[in-house]
Structure 1
Amino acid sequence: MLKGITANVLILGLVSFLTDVSSEMIYPLLPLFLTTVLGAGPAFLGMIEGVAESTAALLKLASGIASDRVRSRKSLVLSGYAISSLARPLVAAATSATAVLAIRFADRVGKGIRTSPRDALIADSTDPSLRGKAYGFHRAMDHAGALVGPLVATLLLTWFVKDLRTVFWLAAIPGGLAVLLIVVRVRETERRRSSNGSFLGFVPRGVLRRYLCVLLIFTLGNSSDAFLLLRAGELGVSPARIPLLWTFFHLVKMAGSTPFGSLSDRVGRRGVIVAGWGIYALSYAGFALATTEAACWLLFAVYGLFYAMTEGAEKALLADIVTPQERGGAFGWYNFAVGIGALPASLLFGFLWEKAGRTAAFGVGASLAAVAALLLLTIVREDPPRPVS
């Protein structure tokens, strides 16, 4: 299973696993902490998440472009993970919702700094013919951390501690181990730095621009997964079973990411992505029409396959169509497009659900996925990756 996974990719996968364990020990408990301990309301929670994710999207673009110019991508990756790992556990010391906003902001600053350079470093460290597998493996490790983190928090609260703040402090341990791994084991790769001196580095054009536009169209129909949990409640999934459903969802994503990423190395990226987007459209149609809890569990499994099929293949295709000197900037634009489209996607979905009903909301999401799939096939050229001789 790990054949072709280089040392850098393996370590960066472990780093993502540990970081997600740390993050997911805190994140699912944050709404409860804000509302019951600090007395904040849902509107303030929404503002925290909006500010955090918008900040991350902008910094992913800037850090990606910067990583093409600096000698070491590792330094940006290290600083980003270090900022997040230092800031995140400080939620335990917060005495106001405003303090949580500042801490969450710092956490997302770290994510914004590290994400695009890390994605570029994975491409730098991998044979072109194995990029799909490398990115699939990395996503699988990320999903594994998202699965383990809440379970660790639940275990701690059930058997060892009674205070949310203690759990938040303990989340510093896996985060610190992640930073230590980067310092000790991640190696910089030899590459030519970009000679472009403009602030933007480069503006996407040609096939890259078309690919990013197609991704943005798809993203506009890909609303927050919180709406799916809301739908699960309507279909009879009790509050006690929602965490179990969410764990099952992450398990499907984790199990499928590496195999489907590897499949894209053999049969081509576009075909796997289009199939994944097709599954997304079918799952959204299913969520609109489902009437039973059993159907909900099946649909979450199908929806998890969409993530497994597309996350690694999308990044691998991006790395295939740009030069090494533009790789960091390309990932910056990619992460920016996906991040900046997430807010209007959720606003649109919520508006449609409230004004026209859930069938219309899910229908628009499925339709945009179908349009994006058709455009990917017709306007985005794919050259098969060649192994390095």
Structure 2
Amino acid sequence: MKYITRTIWVLSFISLLTDIASEMLYPIMPIYLRSIGFSVLLIGILEGIAEATAGLSKGYFGKLSDHTGRRTPFVKLGYTLSALSKPMMTAFIYPFWIFLARTVDRLGKGIRTGARDALLSDEATPATKGRVFGFHRSMDTLGAVIGPSMALVYLYFYPGQYRAMFLIAFIPGLLAIGLSFLLKDKNREQKENKVPVPFFSFLHYWKYSPAIYRKVVAGLLVFTLCNSSDFFLLLKVKQASLNDTATIGVYIFYNMVYALAAFPLGILADKMGLKRVFIAGLFLFALVYAGMAYTGSIYYYGILFLLYGLYAAATEGISKAWISNITDKADTATAIGTYTGFQSICTLLASSITGWLWFQFGAGLAFWITAIIALVVLLYFILVIPKPSDNARPNNP
């Protein structure tokens, strides 16, 4: 565990606290939105726009972090905005205000993500990227176990009292802000006086990025087009006549599996290859969405969310570790930011399209289309992406 440095620990605990705040609200968010008049289609559009905001800002602020040679200011500001968005959700229930609050939350995520992941990458070597990113994802997702568990206890005593939970979620957010001030930039070259960075300048990275980066990211983006918000999975469980407790329960179970598996799968990926573990995750994703096309009992959904947790553990941190290994160290935040920028544009389309398909044709077709596209992407990674891309940067064998 010597490769888990002080910076990695601090970033991991910040993510843990932030996820406690966010995930306390996540499983009840679609239920809350429906209770204040949002349709399934409007929920899909809301999540798509929020994620697109996060993605575009990830690209810009990732580029800006590399441009200035600084990381921690972006981390601090990003976590602060996400914390402030929680009490905002309680002020009004008008659609415009809800959209604004969600956008502020996602903007905070966009500001911090590239810089934070670059900090993690700087603390690792190519041979330990999988386990470092996996450890961070495990700690991050542990918050997604604690948060919904707190929500479950709260709703047991105060059923239907959703709005007060947004105020409670503000507390761990404040703690995360405090921890962020323990972070310090390494002795990097400071470049604050350079020419200002245009908002869409990160898009130029696609032109001069390594060819293998473009191939990997292209596959990831096609997958994103079918990977809509988890809100739809929770809505499917809810529509199967399960109560709020059962819905939140399967979500907690999913995150517990994710948290427990991310670190071991990161270690496995360092040994077997990032690509192999990622492909296995895609296969599990396709199985889950095919299964979600049908209605079952709480045990049926428990099995699906078990597989879904393993999918997330095999892909989320692994994809960023993979990208950081096939790009130059000086461009890490830009590379990850550019990918996540394009990714969130695709997420906007994915959530909106899934919401429309569900609205027009039902959940079954929406889930089956997702599963089929995931299998196509799986074949793409097997046939197109060469194995050596797992663990080598350009000019860094």
Q: Report the TM-score when normalising by structure 1.
A: 0.87
CA distance in 2, matches of 1:214, 1:192: 34
- Indicate the residue corresponding to 1:129 in structure 2: 127
| Distance change (3 Å), C-alpha of 1:55 and 1:172 | same
Shift of 1:165: 4.9
Rate the CA distance shift 1:98–1:348 in 2: closer, same or farther, 3 A: closer
Q: Please state how far the C-alpha of 1:121 moved relative to its aligned partner.
A: 1.3
- Alignment deviations for residues 73-125 of structure 1 (CA, whole Å, 9 cap, x no partner): 11111111122223322334447554443333222221111111111111012
Q: Distance in 2 between matches of 1:20 and 1:373?
A: 29
What residue number does 1:385 align with? 391
| Whole-Å separation in 2 of the counterparts to 1:116 and 1:11 | 16
Q: Check whether the contact 1:219–1:338 (CA below 8 A) recurs between aligned residues.
A: yes
| Alignment root-mean-square deviation, CA | 3.1
Q: Does 1:140 align with 2:138?
A: yes
Hey, what does 1:25 align to over in structure 2? 24
Larger deviation, residues 91-100 vs 13-22: 91-100
Query: Which residue number corresponds to residue 203 of structure 1?
Result: 205
1:191 Cα deviation from its structure 2 partner: 4.4
Displacement of 1:320: 0.3
The question of 1:273 aligning with 2:270 is answered: no
Q: Which letter does structure 2 place at the counterpart of 1:15?
A: I
Percent identity of paired positions between Structure 1 and Structure 2:
34
- Code of the aligned partner of 1:86: L
CA displacement at 1:371 relative to structure 2: 1.9
Q: Which residue of 1 aligns with 2:315?
A: 310
2:289 maps to 284
Report the Cα distance in structure 2 between the residues aligned to 1:145 and 1:344, rounded to whole angstroms: 28
Task: Give 1:283 shift.
Answer: 2.4
Does the C-alpha gap of structure 1 residues 27 and 359 become closer, same or farther in structure 2, counting only changes over 3 Å?
A: closer
User: Aligned pair in 2 of structure 1 residues 224, 50: CA closer, same or farther (>3 Å)?
Assistant: closer
For the structure 1 residues 128 and 190, does the alpha-carbon distance in structure 2 shift closer, same or farther, using more than 3 Å as the test? farther
Distance in 1 separating the partners of 2:309 and 2:109: 23
1:57 corresponding residue in structure 2: 55
Deviation, 1:187, is 2.6
Q: Does 1:189 align with 2:186?
A: yes
C-alpha distance 380-110 of structure 1, shift in aligned 2 (>3 A) = same
What residue in structure 1 maps to residue 100 of structure 2? 102
**What residue ranges of structure 1 are gaps of 5+ in the alignment?**
none
Query: What is aligned with 2:118?
Result: 120
Alignment counterpart, residue 335 of structure 2, candidates 330, 338, 361: 330
1:148-159 paired onto structure 2 within 5 Å: 148-156=146-154, 158=156
Contact 2:133 2:321 (C-alpha < 8 Å) held by counterparts:
yes
1:333-352 CA deviation, whole Å, 9 max, x = no partner? 12112212123223333444
Following TM superposition, by how much is the alpha carbon of 1:266 offset from its aligned partner in structure 2, in angstroms?
0.8
Give the unaligned 5+ runs of structure 2. Answer: none
CA distance 1:197–1:44, change in 2 (3 Å): closer
Aligned length: 384
Q: Give 1:71's aligned residue.
A: 69
